[in-house]
Structure 1
């Protein structure tokens, strides 16, 4: 193909992508390019984990054990909220977010920065649902590479999730019986 043909193809592809973004967004600004980059990054991340597991020669189970699914779910829930909402981890999110105020017990409300590229990362790091995809991938691969250490860490995170639930239940019970702000 000639250089002129390459340029025409590139212009047509660019026009197609622009019209797709315009038609999809329906007047709202959506960082589709950032999302594509994030998906490519996730694909590379998971491929690297898969390669590490393969190089270590670890056998894959026929299917995950139900207890591992429950443990991974609890650990991923707690770690995702810790990474995406906790005050103590806000320095990790700060380059990509703006602080808006507190949100629930020991959590912050932040919004993604509107700067190009930072908005997608900001969305990912403030969304526990988005963060959990990365966390589950990491925990799953870690279980294959370092099963004992990973299960121990996940057990700690699961216990923390249980303790958080008990703290919230206790605070709600105290608020119900004595009024707000006395459970802390």
Structure 2
């Protein structure tokens, strides 16, 4: 039995009767790992040093920004054009958000699942923000600040709407 047939058998036994692109999930994990390894190698070759620790304030800032970025990419109505080749519109969701389904099979479906899952995207956005802090801290703090203020504004909009409904 060829290796590809063995892998197909392993993946089909993982979730019988369901169309899960597990091989494509592996490809996405490999892509993330390759990008992370490339960044680590580039960082080292550039002569930069890893800090002993990242300031707690920076961690708090990029945590909120990463959360907002992952929701912005995965759920925002305006960013649906980025997701459209990989997803299909289902319905309106929360304020300014849409609900979508992944399209297709294989890698297209896996990318669609990644793009509509803020939890899944969180790893990618978190890694990007931490890498940004290492390479371009001033710009990264500015961008993270914009997204953090955006998050705070969203929370105030939601609280205001709830207050209106109770009056």
- What's the TM-score, normalizing by structure 2? 0.93
Residue-by-residue CA offset, 1:12-43 (whole Å, 9 max, x unaligned): 53343233112211322211111011011101
Gaps of 5+ in 1: 1-10, 178-184
103, 109, 117: which one aligns with 1:113: 103
Task: Report the Cα offset of residue 155 of structure 1.
Answer: 1.1
1:138 aligned residue (128, 131, 134): 128
- Which residue is equivalent to 2:63? 73
1:42 maps onto 2:32 in alignment: yes
For residues 58 and 175 of structure 1, the distance between their equivalents in structure 2, rounded to whole angstroms, comes to 53
Which aligned pairs between 1:26-37 and structure 2 lie closer than 5 A?
A: 26-37=16-27
Gaps of 5+ in 2: none
Structure 1 range deviating more: 154-163 or 46-55: 46-55
Paired position in structure 2 for 1:180: none
Tell me the distance in 2 between the aligned counterparts of 1:153 and 1:22. Answer: 42
Equivalent residue in structure 2 for 1:164, among 154, 158, 165? 154
Separation in 1, partners of 2:105, 2:12: 19
Figure out how many residues of one structure are paired with residues of the other and give that number: 167
Cα distance in 2 between the residues matched to 1:117 and 1:16? 19
CA distance in 2, matches of 1:21, 1:91: 31
